[in-house]
């Protein structure tokens, strides 16, 4: 997806340095998106565990 956007920008802007900048930043953007996904999954798991403990404690009462 990032490479598609970069190639489109390279067609729109024929200046090579803009597409080179985008391609050099692409791996950092991909890494940041993966980190965001992992963090959101961890937060979701914690929330699910809290809700499970809450339902178990309610059932015990």
Over the stretch 17-33, which tens digit does the pLDDT of each residue have?
666 777 777 778 788 88
Q: Establish how many alpha carbons lie within 13 A of residue 34's alpha carbon, considering only the half-sphere containing its beta carbon.
A: 6
Over the stretch 28-50, which tens digit does the pLDDT of each residue have?
878 888 898 899 989 888 888 88
pTM attached to this predicted model: 0.45
Tell me how far apart the alpha carbons of residues 7 and 9 are, in angstroms, rounded to a whole number. Answer: 5
Percent helix, percent strand, percent coil in the chain, to nearest 5? 90, 0, 10
Phi, psi values for residue 15, rounded to 5°:
-75, 125
Residue with tokens 């979701």: 44
Number of domains in the chain: 1
Tell me how far apart the alpha carbons of residues 19 and 8 are, in angstroms, rounded to a whole number. Answer: 9
What range defines the domain where residue 22 resides?
2-60
């Amino acid at each position: 997806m990032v490479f598609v956007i970069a190639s489109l920008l390279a067609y729109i802007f024929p200046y090579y340095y803009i597409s080179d900048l985008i391609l050099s930043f692409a791996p950092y953007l991909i890494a940041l998106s993966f980190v965001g996904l992992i963090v959101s999954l961890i937060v979701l798991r914690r929330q699910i565990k809290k809700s499970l403990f809450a339902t178990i404690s309610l059932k015990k009462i």
